[in-house]
Chain A
Amino acid sequence: MIRHAVAEGWLLLRQRGAVSLVLALALAVPISLAGMGLTLRHWLGPMVGLSGQSSTVAVLLHPRLDDRQRRKWIADETAAHPEWSISEVSNEDLVNRLGRWFPYLDELVASGDASLPPLIEIVTAVPESVAILEDRPEVLAVGPRSSIQQSLGRVSRHLAWAMGVLSAILLAGAVLLAAVWVHLELFRHADEITIMRLVGATERTIRGPFLVAVAIPGAVAAVLSIVGSLTAASGLSRLTSDLGLSPIAVPPAVLVVQAAAGLVLPVVAAVLTLARHATDELEG
């Protein structure tokens, strides 16, 4: 009966080609949008501290401090400011991070033309409080300590939320479209369904074609949404590389989620609609 479901489902699609295309696009756009939202969040996260409300302030110590002096300084400041969480960034990690902003840093460090001063990170809810370190002789520079980072993080979070909500609304609309389409097709084929039931067809045989008919646009939507996200990420990466920022890559997990959403959501909508309209066989 799988062959029957595929053949009948394909027939349904051919009869309603325009609706299938609209359904595929209606699903692909929000899935792609949601995928891009997650991708941007993933890309921005390390730069603007998207998670949590505390901020991280970078503090560069003077390169002339040796290891012992550096450790003592950290211990003293930790004791003086228990509300701060102070940690030292390894040189390798520092190169990696700066590499996001300066793509050629790796080569510079490797060539010996640049040496990096020790970097300390202070995580605090009040980044302005780190300003007192500016006058210390051991400190070379204190990074941005206003709430700009927090504000940027907040804006990014809101942006991610807005994209998420917009995607959810559009996706709900697309799922509703799939459900309404199945609903209408059920009415259009009501006589046929009745006959099929009367000659002994199981519900699986009856419902199969409708599931196939929505699964195919769903699969197309999954492919379109993945292509859309990859294209958008590639386009944005050209922009970020012009600004000296690291490229934006869509994480594989996001691609998997997009594919699953495209395949599963319309089928779930169809299953629920079919279940709602499966009338009791025995009337009376």
Chain B
Amino acid sequence: MIRLRGVSKEYERRKILRDLDLQVDAGEFVFLTGPSGAGKTTLLRLLYAAERPTNGEVWVAGRRVDELSRARLPLLRRKIGVIFQDFKLLKRKSVLENITFVLRIHGVAPREAQRRALQVLKRLGLQHRQSALPDTLSGGEQQRVAIARALAYQPRLILADEPTGNLDADLASELLSLLCDINYQGATVVVATHDHAILESIPARTLVLHQGQVHYDGMWPP
């Protein structure tokens, strides 16, 4: 599902990722961890084509992402559900509209989009806030809307950047079990986190990034 070959990323001569080789198979659940500045978010951004690598090849779902034309990018991104660290919700749209909008982009008919959006909101305990605007929600609620949006169209790959950062322990655990369910249904899940409690809650492959390189690749705890 994901393959990186000799990937490096530099910002103003500062190396964030160094000659990274990595493979994640379809259906895997992978934690990506490491200290702040280790390159977790950068790696995820390379995967959903928000950035190009300075060197190397990035392959996602059989496509070389770093060479994709602008016209093809939306098609790639529709295969990926991204849970952003800063939520990235459309502020002028209600909770429900934030989700139906993405479903409509994916070609789902309006009624079906509404039905599926309500279903996923119910699953995340947000159906009572469906008409609210994102700015009126708490951090945890916004995080859940972002998750609902990423899950709504049942993507083959889910990339989650610190998805539990704004959630209390119960909600965090609920979210992880949700991601596990989705993984169980066949989706590949990559979760970037620096929270060791989360790493220990689920036995899964863990990649530890340190100074832009994979420092450890195996089950957690080592």
Which A residues are closer than 8 A to B by beta carbons? 1, 3-4, 11, 191-192, 194-203, 205, 278, 280-284
Minimum C-beta distance from B185 to chain A (A): 20
Q: In the bound complex, what is the Cα–Cα distance between A201 and B84 (angstroms)?
A: 16
> For window 62-81 of chain B, which residues contact chain A by CB distance below 8 Å?
66, 68, 70-71, 73-75, 77-78
10 contacts between A and B (CB under 8 A): A1-B104, A198-B77, A198-B84, A201-B74, A278-B70, A281-B50, A281-B73, A282-B51, A282-B52, A284-B53
A198: chain B residues within 8 A (beta carbon): 48, 50, 77, 82, 84, 88
Q: Which of A197, A199, A201 has the most C-beta atoms of chain B within 10 angstroms of its own C-beta?
A: A199
Known: A192-B90, A192-B92, A195-B89. A202 touches B74 (CB 8 A): yes
Minimum C-beta distance from B217 to chain A (A): 25
Residue B49 CB within 8 A of the other chain: yes
B110: chain A residues within 8 A (beta carbon): 3
Question: What is the number of contacts between chain A and chain B, taking CB atoms within 8 Å?
Answer: 68
Closest to A205 in B: B105
Closest to B67 in A: A282
Q: Are A195 and B53 in contact (CB under 8 A)?
A: no
Q: Give chain B's interface secondary structure class.
A: loop
Residue B3 CB within 8 A of the other chain: no
Residue B91 CB within 8 A of the other chain: yes
Contact of B77 among A3, A199, A205 (CB under 8 A): A199
Closest to A199 in B: B102
Minimum C-beta distance from B7 to chain A (A): 12
B84: chain A residues within 8 A (beta carbon): 198
B92: chain A residues within 8 A (beta carbon): 11, 192
Q: In the bound complex, what is the Cα–Cα distance between A171 and B74 (angstroms)?
A: 37
Known: A4-B101, A199-B102. 10 other contacts (CB 8 A): A1-B105, A4-B104, A198-B84, A199-B77, A200-B74, A200-B102, A200-B106, A282-B51, A282-B52, A283-B52
Residue B54 CB within 8 A of the other chain: yes
Q: In the bound complex, what is the Cα–Cα distance between A195 and B66 (angstroms)?
A: 20
Minimum C-beta distance from A198 to chain B (A): 6
Minimum C-beta distance from B68 to chain A (A): 8
Q: Are A200 and B89 in contact (CB under 8 A)?
A: no
Q: In the bound complex, what is the Cα–Cα distance between A196 and B101 (angstroms)?
A: 9
Q: Are A195 and B90 in contact (CB under 8 A)?
A: yes
Minimum C-beta distance from A55 to chain B (A): 60
Q: Are B91 and A192 in contact (CB under 8 A)?
A: yes
Report the 8 A-B pairs with minimum CB-CB distance, sorted nearest first.
A200-B77, A200-B78, A284-B52, A282-B52, A284-B51, A195-B88, A200-B74, A202-B74
Q: Are A201 and B105 in contact (CB under 8 A)?
A: yes
Closest to A280 in B: B70
Residue B149 CB within 8 A of the other chain: yes
A196: chain B residues within 8 A (beta carbon): 90, 105
A284: chain B residues within 8 A (beta carbon): 9, 51-54
B149: chain A residues within 8 A (beta carbon): 199
B53: chain A residues within 8 A (beta carbon): 284
Q: Are B105 and A281 in contact (CB under 8 A)?
A: no
Minimum C-beta distance from A44 to chain B (A): 52
Q: Which of B74, B77, B90 has the most C-beta atoms of chain A within 10 angstroms of its own C-beta?
A: B74
A195: chain B residues within 8 A (beta carbon): 88-90
Q: In the bound complex, what is the Cα–Cα distance between A154 and B9 (angstroms)?
A: 69
Q: In the bound complex, what is the Cα–Cα distance between A196 and B149 (angstroms)?
A: 12
Q: In the bound complex, what is the Cα–Cα distance between A191 and B70 (angstroms)?
A: 18
Minimum C-beta distance from B31 to chain A (A): 22
Minimum C-beta distance from B133 to chain A (A): 13
Q: Are B73 and A197 in contact (CB under 8 A)?
A: yes
Q: Which of B53, B66, B92 has the most C-beta atoms of chain A within 10 angstroms of its own C-beta?
A: B92
Q: Are A283 and B50 in contact (CB under 8 A)?
A: yes
Q: Are B49 and A281 in contact (CB under 8 A)?
A: yes
Minimum C-beta distance from A72 to chain B (A): 77
Q: In the bound complex, what is the Cα–Cα distance between A4 and B93 (angstroms)?
A: 12
Q: In the bound complex, what is the Cα–Cα distance between A205 and B74 (angstroms)?
A: 11
Q: In the bound complex, what is the Cα–Cα distance between A79 and B50 (angstroms)?
A: 83
Closest to B53 in A: A284
Residue-wise, chain B 122-156 has the 8 Å CB interface mask toward A (1 for contact) of: 00000000000000000000000000010000000
Minimum C-beta distance from B136 to chain A (A): 17
Minimum C-beta distance from B78 to chain A (A): 4
Minimum C-beta distance from A77 to chain B (A): 72
Contact of B66 among A191, A203, A205, A282 (CB under 8 A): A282
